[in-house]
A and B are shown apart, each in its own frame.
Chain A
Amino acid sequence: MSTTALPAQIARVPGVAIALIALCIVFVLTSPGFATSPNIANVLTQSTILLLLALPMTLIIMTEGLDLSIGAVLTFASIILAITAVSTGSLALAFAAALAVGLCFGFLNGALIAVFDIPPFITTLGTLGIAQGLSLVVTDGQSVVGIPRSIETIYSGTAAGIPLPIILAALAYAVTHALLYHTRFGAYVFALGGNREALKVAGISVRGMLIRVYVFGGLMAGFAALLMTARLNSAHPTAGIGMEFDAIAAIAVGGTSFERGNGWLLGTLLGVITVGVLRNGLNLLAIPSSVQVACVGALVIAALFIDGLRGEQ
């Protein structure tokens, strides 16, 4: 188990939190619109889709794996969702279809990695190509429109004043947290990262566990597809491009280590919000886009540099 990792995690708490607080202070001082409730609601809402991808990715990284296909799977799932919604008129059926797509790709990833022993980077690079290819072929490059407008409420609706996506993301976080820290499944995930022999000794199938972890990723991608399609009121074959790297960056900023497999879910949440705050603040300040691009890279490098320093202490 990860009892020895706990002190390291506590020492890491200030890291991403400091970055987040520092950015917030800077933006509050320099940009009048930042600290208003519509803007804060915006930042959090815009971060929800990324969070849904980053949560399972954290678990996958903890198993010394990676899922580069998760953005493309989200895209393809959203396209299937849209097509189903347009042809059947039923959002429930459409959502089920999106989850099914996520499940299939998750299973494919898990099987290739666990059974055929293909390294996760390569496997998911391959499935990324497949998912992206299918998205392009099925839509021929065009947006899919004509979805019943009721889907928009999933993204723009509120409950008790809180935007629905935030509630859904909070739910996803709670479920993932419970899964990781309070179930045997979670304990096995930790073991997959540092101590696979322990699993074998305990008679748990390493293959089965790996497949489950990637299936979890696929299902969350399907769930995120619902939010994405609701946001766009359409589906587009380029919608999710690059989101897997955004998720990885957010996770890195949050403090999860790629080498040691120490996962920290709260860190991921803070990392996602930090990246979102950075982009939002830079937009509000009208910083030229090219500078924004460089800032994101600098943030990622700085976060890991600081983490590296911490690790030494």
Chain B
Amino acid sequence: MSILTSETLSPRFTLSGNVMQTLYRVLAVALLCVALTMLSDVFLTTNNILNVLRQTALLFLMASGLTLVILTAGLDLSIGANVALSGCLAASVIKITGSPLLGIATGVGCGFIIGLANGVLVTALRIPSFIATYGMMWVLTGITYYYMAGETIHGFPPGFRQLGSGHLFGIPVPVYFMVLFLMIGVLFAQRTTWGQQIYAIGANPIAARLSGVPVERRLVLVYAVSGAMAGLASLIILARINSAQGDIGEELTLPAIAAVLVGGTSLFGGSGTVAGTLIGALLLTLVLNGMNLLQINSSWQPLATGIIILLAVWIDIRTRRIGE
């Protein structure tokens, strides 16, 4: 009999802490939007907003599964390389079989298996997630480079391409995915036992185990989910750029981690939300979009991202202190 009731697992201070954090962030997003509207007369146009949403969607999909991993006080550095291998394999399957469905299954499936492997490294082999996923990143990159041999796969069926560049009622398809997985993520994390157990593992793994939480199985689950989401993200990238190359997704790992952290999830585990990650992704994308619209030299972008991350976390820590 588990003593894990919802009261035990969501102590009130965490909930209100989360609410405060989310509020501050929504405020930040609002302020940023106001500022950008004043600075650039093309910011608030339909096209630009849809662009921002589409770019946010991709980042969010990468970061959503990652949120679960970080909630358990772990880390997944392999998601970028996962995107590359899953994407390249999916691309091959689509070209060879002509079937987008098979390709989608391959992409998500490959991502899932890679995630499982990460989970096994962390639980059965007891390797710290930081190192395990880092080593996995190198292994995946090597396999991808070997497989692709410097070539590009290009030209996918138009039906498949709708995934990335299509519109439904005027809204880009990736945005629908974003909303879907936002709802799934929030429901899973806050309303299912498994979700609560994940928070518990992050907050206090020993207590969780003593309370009967199957820690290893849940850990494998979060890494598998993170991997599957990377696989899904790779499909969207494929659909967007209509090609696959050995280095796709490489540049998304750190921004995805940044999105989770800026969204308020703590690296120490046990606190944070999937909704927060969405807002984090939105914040980062807005900043980059603003810099592009204002024609600021792209060399300044890493600088801006770095400062945002620091600011966001600093504000978090101050507000957490107020909440306690």
Contacts and interface: CB of A to CB of B under 8 A. Distances in A.
Interface stretch (A10-18, A46-54, A167-175, A292-300): A292-300
B128 A259 contact: yes
A35 B122 CA distance: 37
A259 B304 CA distance: 32
Contact of B310 (A122, A140, A300): A122
B75 to A, nearest CB: 8
B309 A125 contact: yes
Interface string B264-304: 00111000000000000000000000000000010111111
A308 B122 CA distance: 11
A291 B317 contact: no
Given A293-B145, A304-B128, A116 B302 contact: no
A206 to B, nearest CB: 17
A88 interface: no
A127 B308 CA distance: 11
B143 interface: yes
A256 B189 CA distance: 34
B310 A301 contact: no
Interface stretch (B43-51, B130-138, B162-170): B130-138
Interface stretch (B103-111, B211-219, B253-261): B253-261
Given A133-B301, A137-B303, A300-B138, A112 B310 contact: yes
B142 A301 contact: no
A118 B138 CA distance: 29
Interface in B113-155: 121, 125-128, 130-132, 134-146, 149
A298 B300 contact: no
A245 B131 CA distance: 10
A36 B297 CA distance: 49
Given A125-B306, A295-B142, A308 B299 contact: no
Contact of A129 (B141, B297, B309, B317): B309
A298 B135 contact: yes
B188 interface: no
A127 B304 CA distance: 11
A126 B306 contact: yes
Contacts of B134: 245, 248-249, 297, 300
A299 B144 CA distance: 18
Contact of A296 (B128, B138, B146, B258): B138
Nearest to A295: B142
A285 B299 CA distance: 39
B254 A258 contact: no
Contact of A119 (B144, B254, B267, B301): B267
A116 B317 contact: yes
Contacts of B141: 293-294, 297
A297 B131 contact: no
B305 A301 contact: no
B314 interface: yes
A301 B303 contact: no
A45 to B, nearest CB: 24
Contacts of B130: 248, 258
Contacts of B142: 290-297
Contact of B121 (A123, A130, A249, A301): A301
B186 interface: no
A134 interface: yes
A197 interface: no
A2 interface: no
Interface in A264-313: 288-301, 304-305, 308, 311
Contacts of A245: 134
B109 to A, nearest CB: 21
Interface string B65-76: 000000000000
A133 B306 CA distance: 9
B313 interface: yes
A132 interface: yes
Contact of B146 (A118, A126, A129, A288): A288
A136 B299 contact: yes
B310 to A, nearest CB: 4
A132 B305 CA distance: 11
A136 B304 CA distance: 12
A126 B142 CA distance: 28
B139 A134 contact: no
Nearest to B261: A122
A290 B310 contact: no
A297 B299 contact: no
A141 B302 CA distance: 13
B322 interface: no
A242 B301 CA distance: 18
Contacts of A258: 128, 130-131
Interface in A101-143: 112, 116-119, 121-123, 125-130, 132-134, 136-137, 140-141
5 A-B pairs closest in CB distance: A129-B306, A133-B303, A294-B142, A297-B138, A293-B142
5 contacts: A112-B314, A122-B310, A129-B303, A290-B144, A301-B135
Given A137-B297, A290-B142, 10 more contacts: A122-B313, A129-B305, A136-B302, A141-B299, A248-B130, A293-B138, A294-B146, A297-B135, A301-B127, A301-B132
